[in-house]
Structure formats: C-alpha cells, structure tokens
Chain A
Amino acid sequence: MNLRHLTTSIMAIGLFFMIACKSKPKDSEIMNTVSTAVQSIPGVTADVKDGVVTLSGTVSTDDEKMAAENAAKSVKDVKSVTNNIMVAPPAPPPTAPVAVTADDSLRMAVADVVKDFPGVKVDVNDGVLTVTGEEKASRWKTLKMALDALHPKKVDAKGLKVK
C-alpha cells in the first residue's frame, strides 16, 4: 500500500511540475502581446525578462507614457512594468506668419481713418500703406497709431512732411 501511495505521489508531483513548466509563460510570448498592446503609441519599445516588462523610447506627452504603461500592465502574465519612457514635448510649430489685412478691407478702413486728416493721402498697395502730404507731428502720431491698428504689411511715410 505504502509503495502504491508513494508511486502515485511521485507521479502526481511529476505531473504537477510538467504542468507548471508548461504553463509558465515564455518571455517571448509576453513580448509579442505587449508589443501589440503598445504599438498604437509610436516611439515606444518593450523588452521582457522573467515577466518584467521594461518600456523605453520617447513620446510627446505624459498621457502617452501612462497609456503605454497601462497597456503593458493589462497583458496577462506580466509581473510588473518598468516605465523608462522619456517624455519630450514636440518641437514648437514654426512661428505663424503675421496676419496682414487684405487690400480691399484695408482700403475701406484706411478711408475711415484718413477722412479726418485732410492734408494726408494714404495709398494702399499689396498691404503697404504709403503716406504722403503733410501733417503736424502729434496728429501724425495719432494717424500712425490708427493705421498700424489696421495690420498693414508696412506703413511707409518717407513721403510725408511732418510739421
């Protein structure tokens, strides 16, 4: 009886180890699943050792970094996740060009401005305001402020005589 029990026990233990060995997840399998899980976040790479996932790479936001970590954690058999992802904000967009008012609306607005300056003429051409005539310095300053507020490309007053 004892011998039979022992044999059964040994077989049972052997079977247990066989199952245990077989069911132990391989790092390569985890790797595949993790890689698929994080592939939606560009710039992230994953490495797996003994069920521990190490994430590396560079993303542009903290949200992406956390999303990659959560995606890796959600994979079956992952013991833990070491998140070495760097967050680097994207390069700032190139400076937007200065908005210049179109000639048609510029002409209308200029007409409103200069009607109170009888000695001054302002021509509009391709966003450039060319000022001619003559005006007192203080009045010209008022006019210049008003013209600049219309966002022209340039206010050329070389032809203006300031009294």
Chain B
Amino acid sequence: MALQDKYKELIDTAQTSGVSNLQVAEQDGVLHINGTAPSGDVKDKLWDIYGKIDPNFLTGDVVMDIQVATAVSGAKLKVVTESSNLNIRKGPGTDQPIVGKAAHGEIVTLISKMNEQWWLIRTDGGAEGYAYAQYLQPV
C-alpha cells in the first residue's frame, strides 16, 4: 500500500481523467498501472506526474502502460521519431524488410494494430506496412 500512497497523485489523476479499464496492482514491490487514456494529452499528463514523483523514472517501482483510446483504425498518427525517418516494414519485427519510410512529423493513417508494439499504417504516399508504435502518436 505504501507505493499507492507514494503515487497517490498519479492514481487519483488516472481515475479522474477518464482512463478506462484502469488496473492498479502492487506486485513484488512494483506498482503496475494499466489503462486506456481518452486522449494522448491524458497519457502525457500521467507520465509527467509519474516523472515528477520519481524523477527520471529511476526507482523502478512503477510499470505503467497507458494506451490511447483514439488510436483506432482510421485514426491519424503523427510520426514522433527524434529526427529520422520511421521505417515501414513488411511485417511486425525489426528483422522484416523495409518497404517504405515516413518522415519525421509526417501524418500517417492507422490501419490496424498487430499488437501494442507493431501497428499497420499507410502513408499519404501510399506506402503500407508495419511501424513501431512508440514512434506514432494519435493526433
């Protein structure tokens, strides 16, 4: 319970921000927080609060997976690589051949989610394939 006290602000915010399927459970000294945020802003807010309570996330007492509800088929996604192009691959995996690229900041369309890591996307230029979800942000 001590962890739930330490991260009370984070849990409270998740509860009051409309995070659905919210699961907060403590296991082996780690607080697991899972849920689906109604928007990317809410996800960002939760991560900011987490970073405020545990600067640079170094303590390792939280594992938080917040998905974004608006990331559904047909949604527009922004490529949020640091600066480089995002590889679009034939299949879900970095061992798969690259079939196209999306530029940093480009807006692409989500076709479907293979899993939480690999999303099938299409660029306006017509390239279609799998890209790593961490570099795609719903707009």
Contacts and interface: CB of A to CB of B under 8 A. Distances in A.
B64 A162 contact: no
Interface string B100-118: 0000000000000000110
B56 A145 contact: no
Contacts of A157: 56-58, 60
By size class, the interface of chain A is 20 to 34
Interface string B44-76: 000100010000111111111100000000000
Given A153-B63, A157-B60, A160-B58, 16 more contacts: A112-B132, A115-B94, A137-B56, A141-B47, A141-B51, A146-B117, A149-B134, A151-B32, A153-B28, A154-B30, A154-B60, A156-B60, A157-B57, A157-B58, A158-B60, A162-B56
B27 to A, nearest CB: 5
Given A98-B27, A112-B93, A115-B94, A150 B117 contact: yes
B20 to A, nearest CB: 17
B3 interface: no
B99 interface: no
By size class, the interface of chain B is 20 to 34
Contacts of B65: 148-149, 151
A16 B136 CA distance: 91
B25 interface: yes
A97 B25 CA distance: 8
B60 A149 contact: no
B12 interface: no
B63 A113 contact: no
Contacts of B34: 151
Interface in A80-129: 95, 97-98, 108-109, 111-113, 115
A145 B63 contact: no
Contacts of B25: 95, 97-98
B58 A145 contact: no
B82 interface: yes
12 contacts: A97-B27, A98-B32, A109-B117, A139-B82, A140-B56, A146-B134, A149-B133, A154-B29, A155-B63, A157-B57, A158-B58, A158-B60
